[in-house]
Chain A
Amino acid sequence: DAKTTQPPSMDCAEGRAANLPCNHSTISGNEYVYWYRQIHSQGPQYIIHGLKNNETNEMASLIITEDRKSSTLILPHATLRDTAVYYCIVRVGDMRFGAGTRLTVKP
């Protein structure tokens, strides 16, 4: 599976958009980009995934660059409950986790 690079931590003000970047420069053509998050002491929660096109659901938006070498997860209006570790994963088979980004939403 391709590896991903994410910043170790980010802060965001409550009510503002949180933009979480992910680099996956070695992604192959059939690998999807997945985003999960893990709130302390819980199992990972699925957020969104995509292949080429931008995707949006009730939780977030996923922007994938045209060359697919990077993507951004956007939480449009972050709340305190969005404080978590966010994992960007590229996969075609097993789901393997990197270190993720610890997002802290501040009041």
Chain B
Amino acid sequence: GAVVSQHPSRVICKSGTSVKIECRSLDFQATTMFWYRQFPKQSLMLMATSNEGSKATYEQGVEKDKFLINHASLTLSTLTVTSAHPEDSSFYICSAKTIWDEQFFGPGTRLTVL
């Protein structure tokens, strides 16, 4: 299957700082990428859908000014958690959709905000 990478795999930051997470489709072009968040012992929750060259579409209850998404190319989307607080600590997972409508997931980024 197609490969999606995320960087970094884990990050620890101080409260109030911003953190950027990168999501790359390594061997295919993805017009659409998705960002999910997963809290311990819970399922993945879709945060936003990102289309290359246009603004992201956020799910209800997800603050667009806090979770900035940029999808500047067909192989890269970034999620920036601005002014992170301990309650933003979570496992963030991206996925990318191929032209055949298959969706592949990245390995996830564990964010810990102190």
Contact = CB atoms under 8 A, between A and B. Distances in A.
B43 interface: yes
Interface string B70-114: 000000000000000000000101010000001111111010000
Given A95-B34, A95-B103, A87 B108 contact: no
B44 interface: yes
Contact of B93 (A44, A94, A99): A44
Contacts of B104: 46
Contacts of A42: 107-108
Binding site secondary structure of chain B: strand
Binding site secondary structure of chain A: loop
Contacts, number: 42
Contacts of A94: 34, 46, 49
Chain A interface extent, by class: 10 to 19
A43 B103 contact: no
A97 B106 contact: no
Chain B interface extent, by class: 20 to 34
Q: Which of B44, B104, B108 is the most central at the interface, judged by chain A CB atoms within 10 Å of its CB?
A: B44
B61 interface: no
Interface in B56-76: none
Interface string A14-46: 000000000000000000000010100111111
Given A46-B1, A46-B102, 17 more contacts: A36-B105, A41-B91, A42-B107, A43-B93, A43-B95, A43-B105, A43-B106, A43-B107, A43-B108, A45-B105, A87-B43, A94-B46, A94-B49, A95-B103, A96-B46, A97-B45, A100-B43
Interface of B: 1, 4, 6, 34, 36, 43-46, 49, 91, 93, 95, 102-108, 110
Interface of A: 36, 38, 41-46, 87, 94-100
